[in-house]
Chain A
Amino acid sequence: MSDHEYTPKSNFGKWFNDRLPLLTLANHLTDYPTPKNLNYWWTFGGILTFCLITQIVTGLVLAMHYIAHADMAFDSVEHIMRDVNYGWLIRYIHANGASMFFLAVYIHIFRSLFYGSYKAPREIIWIIGIIIYLLMMAAAFMGYVLPWGQMSFWGATVITNLFSAIPFVGEGIVTWLWGGYSVDNPTLTRFFTLHYLIPFLILGLVVLHIWALHVPGNNNPVGIDVKKPSKDTVPFHPYIVIKDGFALLMFMIVFAFFVFYSPNILGHADNYIEADPLVTPAHIVPEWYLLPFYAILRSVPDKLLGVVAMLSAIFILAALPWLDTSKIRSAVFRPLYRQFYWILVADVLILGYVGAMPAEGLYLLIARVATAYYFLHFLVVLPLLGYKEKTLPIPLSITEPVLGGSPNLATAKNDERLNK
């Protein structure tokens, strides 16, 4: 939070701010000291806020035309596409918006992994982020069910059946989730309700996420603590606002490309066939952003253990601040971690690829190796690296490496810091 006291200039401002300090909050947000070396990977927080608002606004509009009933849902979506003024545009923005949201969140997460943004004192920001990510997956899954196409129906069937793997109570839980003996109208109406609710839960968590961020302030590419405010920081407005705005424009170009030139490329043709409980599509695949976890699920031959592995793959992220034992945040100064980081990126991409392929033969083998490596990275590599890795000297400030100070001096200072 800002260190200095803020007093509004006008008398009305003073009067209002004494009663509700909104102007103090606004002043904090504009003056908020930000490390001056933030690169474009840091712009995805703002981009994600844009994605959330876009989904809420387009979703709100779609809900005015959509009918959550098993007999009418599919037709009402076609009605939106054909009859509603600009319905096609709004629905394509919403559907592709989900993909863009995940694209941005994956970049945001991997930014944190590279620069060690999850480490002390930012563990709570990280954990709130993981909860947001989980809610995003739930919202995306339930949203995908709403058009009541073949993929909607069978995706819902397969995913809800995952709970049947729980010993003893599994079947009861699945019946409870369905509100019947199969995915049907009661399932659709509750999914619609929850799909409507979750974005607002996410919005609340985003406020907490940013609040928690503003306590220690931003991490930065060098990964050192910066004095605030100082020569190492710039005020959020206008410096970061302009940079975020520019990045957002670039992002919107990509977004618009999908919406206007290939709105269905990220979806499945099967979902334009109305749900039929008697016929399963030949090849059931989740949306691209869930594929790595789907690959982990299928790589384990046992039903229960497969579900356990898939959930562990997500929840292990919450433990990351304690699994990574290195005191150095940024991978810039961690030559070994940097290599393992890129192996992990490749590993997740490979998992995503095999998740889209049939689970047999070579694909299954690759999925198993990649799954094993995923857990190895978090449970073995990261804890050991903290002790084994010879890290590079870190600068004392962001300004120091640019404005002078001999490397020897920097090394000496660094050792001094590490010995503290």
Chain B
Amino acid sequence: MSEKKTNRRDFLFTATYAVGAVGVGAVVWPMIDQMNPDASVKALASTEVDVSSLNPGKTITVLWRGKPVFIRRRTQEEIAEAKSVKLEDLKDPQKDEDRAKDPEWLVMLGVCTHLGCVPLDQKGDYNGWFCPCHGSHYDTSGRIRKGPAPTNMEIPKYEFVNANTIKIG
């Protein structure tokens, strides 16, 4: 058999497979994408919190997108402690100023970056948070200091709507 004779048929086969693959892909994608967050889940993407009753040294935990968010009004000592840490000592170097826009207020996801447990407030070797699941210690800025977690606790997008209200998301 010479190659020329099969060329036309080869082209038809290849074209058929290609169209078939696109068709299968177009049918499979909706089946996969339906598992992604739906419109009603996305609609709950922001939360407003009244923080007027929060005194220094206190934390409140609010639920945002099904996850806990810690809002802590830090004391002067905690702020000083967080600022005094050298960046070389950190596993995931990040300045305290980059984590707390207003140093008095620390707003972060209360989710351990290891496997997603909720760390405990005012515990651990660094006066910050301690995760009971696999023993990660975080400092007063929520930065990972010791244990298996790879990164600092995440800072969500948030803003002060007015002096008493924080909008998360």
Contacts and interface: CB of A to CB of B under 8 A. Distances in A.
Contact of B66 (A158, A161, A164, A183): A183
A168 interface: no
Contacts of B118: 277-280
B37 A182 contact: no
B132 A282 contact: yes
A161 B132 contact: no
B68 to A, nearest CB: 5
Interface in A128-178: 154, 157-158, 160-162, 164, 175-178
Interface stretch (B11-19, B23-31, B96-104, B109-117): B109-117
A183 B65 CA distance: 10
B38 A158 contact: no
A55 B159 CA distance: 51
B116 A157 contact: yes
A360 interface: yes
Q: Which range holds the interface residue count of chain A?
A: 20 to 34
Given A179-B37, A181-B37, A277-B66, A158 B148 contact: no
A388 interface: no
Contacts of B114: 161, 303
A83 B133 CA distance: 35
B67 interface: yes
A278 B61 contact: yes
Contacts of B36: 175-176, 179
Contact of B115 (A161, A277, A283, A358): A161
Contacts, number: 78
B117 to A, nearest CB: 4
Given A176-B35, A359-B134, A184 B66 contact: yes
B1 interface: no
Contacts of A298: 134
B63 interface: yes
A284 interface: yes
Contacts of B20: none
A359 B135 contact: yes
Nearest to B134: A359
Please report whether the interface of chain A is mostly helix, strand, loop or mixed according to DSSP.
Answer: loop
Contacts of A161: 114-116
B93 interface: no
A359 B136 CA distance: 11
Contacts of B163: none
B115 A278 contact: no
A21 interface: no
Contact of B133 (A177, A180, A284): A284
Contact of B132 (A278, A280, A303): A280
Given A158-B117, A158-B133, A161-B116, A277 B38 contact: no
Given A162-B115, A278-B61, A284-B133, A179 B66 contact: no
Contacts of B117: 154, 157-158, 280, 284
Most interface-central of A175, A186, A358 (chain B CB within 10 A) = A186
B150 interface: yes
A182 B154 CA distance: 14
B35 A158 contact: no
A179 B41 contact: yes
Given A161-B114, A179-B41, A184-B66, 7 more contacts: A176-B36, A181-B37, A181-B66, A183-B66, A277-B118, A284-B117, A303-B150
Interface of B: 32, 35-38, 41, 61, 63, 65-68, 110, 114-118, 131-135, 148, 150
Interface of A: 154, 157-158, 160-162, 164, 175-184, 186, 190, 277-284, 298, 301, 303, 358-360
